[in-house]
Structure 1
Amino acid sequence: MSLNKETIRVMNVNIYCEYNISEKPPLILIHGYLSSTYTFHRIMSKLSENYSVIAIDLPGFGRSEKSKSFRYSFENYAQLIKEVMDYFHITRVTLVGHSMGGQVSLNVAKFYPEKVSKLILLNSSGYLKRANQLLILSSYLPFFHRYVHYHINKHDVKEELKKVLFNHSLITDEMMEEYKRPLLEKDFPHSLIRLLRHREGDLSSQDLNQIYTPALLIWGKQDEVVPFKVGQKLASELPNANLIAYDQAGHLITEEKPVEVVEQILKFA
């Protein structure tokens, strides 16, 4: 099933989205750090058979605007998701968040619980602290963006993908191109700097205890980015959560277990 691809204007930022709106129950897919809607390319069409699917590139990532005025905080990202819902005339939604997108999803559930019917967290980030104050202050130094540009481009994309995949044979030229392309944009380092300054720490245990939205956590047991023990802790602290884990799968669970992920979403959402 084909998806519409469009850039929309939300909160004074140009947001790239891929979507298929129908009368079916809505899902919003939220990618993680240094990623994009491409995270979900193996599951979007299949999900569209049963849901109205909207996948967005968060401001600063993918094909969305690398804004120098947007506040890159989780609370602001949560508001952005609410505004995207308003744009598409959606009142309640199931959120599917991968990695940092899981933390964004949790923030939507915290600030707008009436908007979220269910949460599906794929290898979600959790318990990360805010950047230390010295690093935040350093980000205001002249030419700090050059350091960031050097730092993000010194790593080989293929080697970085090996860290998020258990099965390295899944790495293709297309995948490497999709993950490398945004890194080459001149304003990308500025977005990362603003994220460094604005990003709060992940939600605390006390916050998580207050999120009663039904949640399904799906994890790759060989995740080297967000270890399985993080998923176990999240599942224990969210009052209404279940955790499912797959062996021989790393951080990028949508690439390694797409059929299984879709099956679990169909059962839960």
Structure 2
Amino acid sequence: MKNLLASFLVLIVFVPQLKAQKDTLRNLDIDLSNYQYPFPVSYIAFESQGEKLKMAYMDVKPDKPNGKSIMLLHGKNFNGAYWEQTATALTNRGYRVIIPDQIGFGKSTKPVHFQYSFHELAANTKRILDHLNVTKITVLGHSMGGMVATRFTIMYPELVEMFILENPIGLEDYKLKVPFQSIDKWYQTELKSDFTSIKNYQLNSYYDGKWKEQYTPWVNLLAGWTLNKDYPRIAWNSALTYDMIYTQPVCYEFENITAPTLLIIGQRDRSAVGKNLAPETVRKSLGNYPELGKQTKAKIRNSELVELDNIGHLPHIEDFDRFIQPLMKFLER
């Protein structure tokens, strides 16, 4: 009887909470035109691979410039909006902050036909800097943005003053442990996504089973797309970028980075692309960020490693104060 009562109490607490989460879920269009970003959004237009593309970005300027610029590169399941608190802190210290949405993400174009590569994303990102006449930049990449940032830094070393990785994926070569999956299979999986599946993935992969309500908006952004008639095109682009991550490792080229480098690594993170596809015995070895952080520091000359205990895949969302302190110390040394 006590167990039944306890279950009932949990239910009446949980159901309204779940309803409140889903009440904030709304249909979002393919370019997020009905979702407001924290800062004004601009676009550059160009043609690539026969597609006419628009790439969105935010250019956040400080009231009292210190003459330095920093570019924040988002992860695969995110867009530039989740950098709001970071950008505000940086502009308060005088930094100009540039925040792109990569092609296929956020407010940028979702192409019908496109061969994704980190080289292409890096070149597209440079188009924004060229448009803004920015010739020196600090580059900070989170998650998949870390892979874009790595490729950018290797391709354009003359532009990069400092290089920062926040829990990047791609610190290991996934195709050595994860069985190959066709783009069609990635696509079919993406088509099945909804609020529950997206939240469960983030709960287990990003936050090690520890959920806070402050994470829900980032679930709603993805889940809102699943309600839109254009979601199949969004899902197709997502499948293409999964294939890009799987087939184009950057971990073998860290030794080519010469810029001063900071690694900020949440130690609870266990993210790895395709982890659920690997055999159970292999799965446990994937996404071992405590070990991957040390391995990556050893590969990059002139690098520092900050290990954040009891923090998962998104330090700047999960515990902003612990994230921003080492970042500012590195930038202002």
TM-score normalised by structure 1 residue count: 0.86
**Structure 1 residue aligned with 2:56:** 16
Deviation at 1:215, TM superposition (A): 0.5
Whether 1:159 and 2:200 are equivalent positions in the alignment is yes
Deviation at 1:116, TM superposition (A): 0.8
Q: Give the RMSD, CA atoms, in angstroms.
A: 2.6
- Tell which deviates more after alignment, 60-69 or 234-243: 60-69
Deviation at 1:75, TM superposition (A): 0.9
8 A contact 2:267–2:290 mirrored in 1: yes
**Structure 2 residue aligned with 1:118:** 162
Question: Which residue of 246, 250, 253 corresponds with 1:203?
Answer: 250
Structure 2 letter corresponding to 1:3: F
**Structure 1 residue aligned with 2:304:** 242
Closer, same or farther: CA 187–169 of 1 in aligned 2, 3 Å:
same
Deviation at 1:96, TM superposition (A): 0.7
**Structure 2 residue aligned with 1:190:** 236
Q: 2:318 & 2:186 partners in 1: Cα distance?
A: 34
Whether 1:108 and 2:108 are equivalent positions in the alignment is no
Structure 2 letter corresponding to 1:240: N
Kindly provide the CA deviation profile for residues 12-35 of structure 1, in whole angstroms up to 9, marking residues without a partner as x.
Answer: 421222221354311111011122
8 A contact 2:54–2:109 mirrored in 1: yes
Uncovered stretches (5+) of structure 1, i.e. residues with no partner: none
**Structure 2 residue aligned with 1:228:** 290
Deviation at 1:58, TM superposition (A): 1.2
Structure 2 counterparts to residues 76-155 of structure 1, below 5 A? 76-125=120-169, 126-129=171-174, 135-136=181-182, 139=184, 147-153=188-194
8 A contact 1:30–1:105 mirrored in 2: yes
SS at match of 1:118: strand
Q: 1:219 & 1:62 partners in 2: Cα distance?
A: 25
8 A contact 2:187–2:236 mirrored in 1: no
Q: 1:71 & 1:103 partners in 2: Cα distance?
A: 17
Task: Give me the identity figure in percent.
Answer: 21
TM-score normalised by structure 2 residue count: 0.71
Q: 1:244 & 1:10 partners in 2: Cα distance?
A: 38
By relative contact order (CA 8 Å, sep 6+), the higher-ranking structure is 1
- The number of residues matched between the two structures is 262
Whether 1:42 and 2:85 are equivalent positions in the alignment is yes
Deviation at 1:154, TM superposition (A): 8.3
Structure 1 letter corresponding to 2:304: N
Deviation at 1:268, TM superposition (A): 1.5
Deviation at 1:133, TM superposition (A): 9.6
Deviation at 1:63, TM superposition (A): 2.1
8 A contact 1:5–1:16 mirrored in 2: yes
Closer, same or farther: CA 204–46 of 1 in aligned 2, 3 Å:
closer
- Tell which deviates more after alignment, 50-59 or 126-135: 126-135
**Structure 2 residue aligned with 1:252:** 314
Closer, same or farther: CA 145–250 of 1 in aligned 2, 3 Å:
closer
SS at match of 1:76: helix
